[in-house]
Structures are given as structure tokens and as C-alpha cells.
Chains A and B, each alone.
Chain A
Amino acid sequence: MMPHGRVQSPKSEVRGGLLRTTDYGLRTTKCGLTLVELVLTVGLAGILGIPTGLLLSEHLRAAVTSRDSTVAMGLARAETEQLDSLNNFFALPLGTVTIANYQGYPYNLTRTITCQAGNCTSGSSNSQGVKRIVVTVTKAGSTAPLARMTTYRTKHVLFGL
């Protein structure tokens, strides 16, 4: 019990390696963390932070892949529709063509047209043939296909009446 009217000099306590409390007798003020708490917190933050970082990188990867896939499929479809709109079997040249930066996007488009069956060159109405069209889109600088579309076109068949 402290005598009445006496001022107690400040008292410091070193505990756990850190200056911890300042006690003026009447009031006790406590602030800061103990070393153990700090170590525990950093440890837990590390344990939770590593998977969080992995998740973040996965987010970024998934977001980029999704965007690439969507754009690539859109470009492949645009090319296929463009070929359809020609409505002319003979305007689809046999062979492989690669178009870099297709329509200004950083993607390369490769169109491969082969003769699937029959005669694909004769213009005679008695000569039949079917072409195979494969459209592949890759990201510029990569060979891994992001989108691939395959269809056929038949000779002497037109869209519309």
C-alpha cells in the first residue's frame, strides 16, 4: 500500500527482451508486443502468406490464360467465318498460310487447307471434292496452340439460294 501524497518514481520492467511497461504506481500503461507474439505473428503470416502468394500467381496466370484463350478463339472464328463468307470453294487455296499479328493482335494465325477427299482442283461439275480447313491460333512468340478449329467445305455447294 502506497503512502498517501507520495509520488512514486517511474519504474521500468524489462521482460522478454523488450521495454514493456511504465508504471507510475497509480496507473499502469501497456503497449507493444512481446517477442514471442511477434515471432508467432510473423510465422503465421509466413504460413498463410506462402499459399496466398501462390494463389495470387495462379490468379494472374488464369486471368492471362483466359484472356488469351478467348481472344484466340475469337480470331479463329473470325477467320473461319471470313472463309465461309467467300462462298467459293476454289477461293480456299490449298496449303498453309501463317499470318503474324492477325488483325493487329499479338497472335499468329495459321490456316491449313488440304484436300480431304476427291478432286479439289478440277472445276468440272462432275468432279467432286471436299477440303479440310484447320485454323490454329498461337500467341506471338509461342508455338502452343491457344485455339484450333476444324471444318470442311464441299465443292459446288453454295450458301443461300
Chain B
Amino acid sequence: MRGRNSASGGWLLVGLIVILSSVFVAMAGVTLALGESRRTISLRENDTEAIYLAQAGVMDALYRFRSGNGVGPLGIDQRVDPGPLPGTSDDDVFILGGQMADSLLVNMKPTTFQADINLPNCSPPRRDRMQNWTIRNVLASGGMSLTIDRIRVNWSPNLGEGVLRIDLNGNNPDWTAPSCSGVPANTDIDLFPNQSIPPMASWNTNRIWFTSNGVMAGKAWIDISFIMSDGTVRTSHWDRAIPANRSADFTIKSVGEVRKGPFPFVTWRRLQAEYRLSGAAITSTGNLLAYQELTTKSP
């Protein structure tokens, strides 16, 4: 009798312990879940901060460019907000980066066309010439040189005209067509040697000769694509009817990085911005045509 009674009391105690333990374990689980939730919120906060840091990088790059100092330096931390621990690398920063085509500014705004240009070696001698467009390396001193490997010219409507000659940075030909019939639209024209433009440099005399005469100025649009030695491409656009659509663009890529915060992880977001000048001068009012978030940190 006694033994059975004691066993019954024991089970009651065990039951209580089990219930309390279950409550304890459940609470611990909920606490962990809340901790994770807090962590997620913090990550989201850092995410938001990071995109605005990236925007700060874009704005800073534009300020430097418009001030005549060039975009950059690339790949170097530029502190926006100091972190809580002086002397460590926990600051909130932006880092500028990009590839060759990003920093090649081809300004099509001042483009003009001249007909009746004498090209004596080809008969008939008088030809169209697209001129006065400029090329600039927007990077600051110490940045990379931009090397143009190939050029492709396209236009519409295409009535069978051809490209005869390309002059970059002066009046001397950098490429001449193998025959007076030129090369058709959208043909890769390989420059030999490649042409490099150092940082901060500007080429103000650039010309393209066509097989036609008095025709090219009437095209709806003409595109010039520059294929750089790293394989990236900058396409510059001339539009006859809408001057605002004539490109004078370059691209800024900026990473915003939050390194401080309640949790020990780094959050980054990368922004790509397309900037267009409204005129020939770099100080003319500019427009940020498009923002795009990139999912890779480089290149």
C-alpha cells in the first residue's frame, strides 16, 4: 500500500517538473526567435543605411568631377561616419569602383556634321564628317588609363553608307577603311595600335568620315560604341530630333558599407548611377538618369 502511494506522489512531481521544463524550453525558444528577429531588423537597418552611403559616394564622385578634380580614388575606403571604436576599421564608408567603359565620357552634345569634306584619295572626293564630339577620362589623377580597342558605328536609317576613316585626339587618322567603299554600319573597327586616354585627359578633336555626302546629318540617330581593352563597352548616342537624348554620359559605381552596428557583421550595397551632362562643359547642370542596384561588389 505504502509503495503504491509513494509512486503516485512521485508521478505528480515528475509531471510538474516536465510541465515547467517544457515551459522553460518553450520560453528559451521564443527568446532565441526574438533575438533573431532583432538581428534581422538590425540587418535591415544596416541595409538601408548602406544604400544611402552608396548614394553619398555617387554624390561625392559627381562633386569631384564637376570641380575638375576627377572621379576617385577608386577602390579606397572613404569614410562617411566614424565607427564607435577609434583607430579600427569599423567606420561606415563608401568605395568607388568600376571598369574602363564606366569612366569614358563621350560627349555627343557639341557634335556637328560637315559635308563636302575633301577626301582626295577616294573618288568622288567629297564626304560627310561627324565632328566636334569629345572624349574624356573622368578619373582623377592616379586612376587608370582607358584603352579603346575597337569602335563600332551604327546609324538609322541605314541606306548603305559606310565608314571611311576615324580620327581620335587630332586630325590624323587612327583607322582608315581598306577601300573607298568603307565598312558597313555596325562593323567592329579594330584600332591598331589601341588608343589610351590617361586620367583627367580630354580629347577634343575626334572625327568620323563617311562615304556619303550631305546625308549623315539627316539620320535619325548615330551610335558610336567603344569597346575597351577590358571588354566593356560604352555606347554614345547622337539623336537628331531631341538634343536632350544626345549622350554625354558616364557611370559611377559606389559601394556603401556599414561596418559598425549592434551585430558584428558588415553590410554592403552597391549602386550604379548613370550621369549625363546637359552641355559641353563639365560644370553644366547634370542629370542622374538612372539608379540601379548591383548584386556584385565588383568589378
Count CB-based A-B contacts (< 8 Å). Answer: 137
Determine the distance from Cα of A126 to Cα of B92 in the docked complex, in whole angstroms.
31
Give the residues in chain B near A147, CB-CB below 8 Å.
45
Stretch at the interface among A4-12, A34-42, A95-103, A105-113: A34-42
Contact B288 A37 (CB under 8 A): no
Determine the distance from Cα of A161 to Cα of B289 in the docked complex, in whole angstroms.
6
A58-B31, A66-B41, A156-B286 as given contacts; A52 in contact with B24, CB under 8 Å: yes
Interface size, chain A (Cβ < 8 Å): 52
**Residues 37-73 of chain B, each 1 if its beta carbon lies under 8 Å from chain A, else 0:** 1100110110011001101100110110011000000
Contact B27 A130 (CB under 8 A): no
B63 to chain A, nearest CB (A): 4
Interface size, chain B (Cβ < 8 Å): 49
**Looking at chain B's contact residues, is the secondary structure mostly helix, strand, loop, or mixed?**
helix
Determine the distance from Cα of A132 to Cα of B92 in the docked complex, in whole angstroms.
14
Give the residues in chain A near B284, CB-CB below 8 Å.
125, 156
Contact B42 A28 (CB under 8 A): no
**Residues 236-248 of chain B, each 1 if its beta carbon lies under 8 Å from chain A, else 0:** 0000000010000
B33 to chain A, nearest CB (A): 10
**Interface, chain B (partner A; CB < 8 A):** 1, 5, 8-9, 12-13, 16-17, 20-21, 23-24, 27-28, 30-31, 34-35, 37-38, 41-42, 44-45, 48-49, 52-53, 55-56, 59-60, 62-63, 66-67, 80-81, 92, 244, 275-276, 283-289
10 closest A-B pairs (Cβ-Cβ)?
Answer: A152-B59, A130-B63, A151-B52, A152-B56, A62-B34, A154-B59, A55-B27, A128-B67, A48-B20, A154-B63
